[in-house]
Amino acid sequence: MVFLMVDGHGDPNTSVARREAVEALYAASYAVPAVGKKTLGRVHTVAPLEGLWSAEDLDVFRTRDESAWDWTLMIAQPDWTTLAIVDDALAVAQKKKQLPALGLVRFERYTEGRSAQILHIGSYDDEGPPLQRLHGEFLPVDGLAPVGRHHEIYLSDARKTEPAKLRTILRQPVTAVT
């Protein structure tokens, strides 16, 4: 799939860079349908925010040491999106809002491959137990091991949803253990 993406590091709850990345991704992603409609006669609904997470020591995800996290935030775009459409959308977004992270937005194809996932309902801070079940129970029983970056898809808008009702897909790329 093709995505608009921004990279960063640190605690997603306190990072100004993360907030600015989210603002820039949404501004650009909402401009893509306007440009697509004007140039191609095509429209689409903006996809949910997603995040790829990694760290030198993967145990920081279980312990929630968020200051050690590396992240890539991203929003999927329709397959008909081209670099020219993205460039035009970024220009439209820049005219509407002077967002510092718009210059960090990139357009890239992302291929994840085989993955295991679980739906988590609740606060982002309570993801530890379902991640432990996914990594410590499900994967070993099925002869799988994690590879690549942890992937989350945010189905709820955290600004409008109480933490106990947030819905997040927790996804982990996997490989067969030989």
CA 65 from centre of chain: 19
Q: What is the pLDDT of residues 4-22, one digit of tens each?
A: 999 999 888 888 999 999 9
Residue 134 has what DSSP assignment?
Answer: I
Residue 74: is it exposed, middle or buried by C-beta count within 10 angstroms (0-12/13-18/19+)?
Answer: buried
Domain 1-111 part of CATH 1.10.357.10: no
Q: What is the pLDDT of residues 120-148, one digit of tens each?
A: 999 998 988 999 899 999 999 999 999 99
Q: Is the pLDDT of residue 60 over 90?
A: no
Q: Is the pLDDT of residue 62 over 90?
A: no
Q: How many Å apart are CA 27 and CA 112, to the nearest integer?
A: 25
Question: Can you give the pLDDT at residue 1?
Answer: 95
Residues near 110 by beta carbon (within 8 Å), at least 6 away in sequence:
1, 2, 3, 5, 74
Residue ranges covered by each domain of the chain: 1-111, 113-178
The stretches of the chain forming alpha helices (DSSP H) are 16-40, 59-63, 83-96, 128-133, 139-141
Residue 175: is it exposed, middle or buried by C-beta count within 10 angstroms (0-12/13-18/19+)?
Answer: middle
pTM: 0.91
